[in-house]
Structure 1
Amino acid sequence: MTARWPRPPSPRRPDTCEILAGAEIAGLARHGAEPFADVALVGRRLYVAVMHALVRGFVEMGCVRRDARVRVITGSIGRMRQDLRAWLCEASGLAGGRP
């Protein structure tokens, strides 16, 4: 949750190039005031395993509800894009429309 990525270019320079997964999700969930109830994990097996671990951390942070629906989308890149689009349309209430 607090690992810095990408790493700073040099240990002697100021660290101004970090993206913290926990900070990003906390901002999107308004620091736990509006935790996510639906989550989609999109990627191949290793990425999905890492994302499951992140989701567990986000639950502990209060940014994802414990009873959140987690949908795993995997397969070929084209299939993943189609399935992600369908998930986004479903979540926004659009039946086959544009999200």
Structure 2
Amino acid sequence: MVVKVMDHVRTASSYEDGDVIFRLILPPVMEGQRVEVDFTGITSVPSAFVNAAFVRLLEQVSLERAREVLTFVQSTRQINELIRSRFEFVEQEKKRLAGV
């Protein structure tokens, strides 16, 4: 499945925009299907968008599953770094709370 972000939101600049993408990608991710998220036309996104669209997935599936099925294309370094750092933060928090 390919989700072109700009086909579904006017801007990728808010939590609400991220929620639209989250609702699109959640069902296939839950089923273990590959999802390609296409950022064509977007140069940067705020953490609110990333939190809503992708970090919330980690409440439903493991980081390993998310990394296995999600790919990001036509993405910038800023977008990639933000997603990576938010995923890492959530994983560290889960470990801290588990006492690991």
- Shared fold (TM-score, shorter chain, > 0.5): no
- TM-score, normalised via structure 2 length: 0.31
> Which structure dedicates a bigger proportion of its chain to strand?
1
> Which structure dedicates a bigger proportion of its chain to helix?
2
More relative contact order, 1 or 2 (CA 8 Å, 6+ apart): 2
